[in-house]
Amino acid sequence: MARDWWDPQGKFKPLHMLNPTRLDYVVTQIATEFTLDRRMPRPFEGLRVLDIGCGGGLISEPLARLGASVTGADAAPGNIAVASLHAEEQGLDIEYLNVTAESLLAEGRQFDVVVALEIVEHVADPAAFIQTCHDLLRPGGMAVISTLNRTAKSFGAAIIGAEWVMRWLPKGTHDWRRFITPDELSGMSEGAGLVPVDRTGMVFNPLGWSWSLSARDLSVNYALTALRAA
């Protein structure tokens, strides 16, 4: 599927639809926690951002345009090839690496912001992954993690709706049993030494065919922001 990353009508169409909403959340959280003015041309200048599971670069590229020094890491070499080519075509200087988060940690790398979107539900050990995110942050750094809640509604939306009915994703992309509740994710974050500061839902409106952020509805997709102590 890697070659289809930048086709808004292709296999990643649902992610393209979601991307502006999740990007708005990420950008708002970074600007708020680091007291940055989003109205400036490059407000994230000087920030080192790691995008774990970067895929084709849908989040990495806009963060780079905002001035951040971005490293995109993905374990799938096909994704990195596509992301690197697209960034080059866009004139963006992004460090794309076909590596795991654990290997970056072993190299002693640290970042101001770690972004891990729609990946924690796929890893073998979510708690260990969150610990790695913590360790990759400099003191005072921030992690933004998004995933799927384990509810009846999420089974209907993400499995039955997205995979079986709409066929937006191949069957078996998600395992509902591996979805993580907001309280579980907060607990893992606290256990890793992170301090959760925000939890926000991302809600799909089938009538308007659009996504929006919601402080109340975390029943399907949601994001958590957490800080490493200074």
Sheet strand arrangement including 95-97: 95-97, 69-73, 48-52, 111-117, 137-148, 221-228, 194-205, 210-214
**208 belongs to an annotated ligand binding site:** no
Residue 62 CA to residue 223 CA, distance in Å, equals: 18
210-214 and 194-205 beta bridge pairing: antiparallel
Q: Kind of pairing, strands 111-117 and 48-52?
A: parallel
How does strand 137-148 pair with strand 194-205?
unpaired
Maximum Cα interatomic distance, the chain, rounded to a whole number of Å: 48
Residue 191 CA to residue 117 CA, distance in Å, equals 20
The answer to whether 175 is annotated as binding is no
Which residue, among 28, 4, 27, 8, has the nearest Cα to 18 in the 3D structure? 8
CA distance 40 to 4: 32
- Would the annotation count 138 as a binding residue? no
- Classify 154 as helix, strand or coil: helix
Residues flagged as binding site: 22, 53, 74, 117
Q: Output the known binding site for S-adenosyl-L-methionine.
A: 22, 53, 74, 117
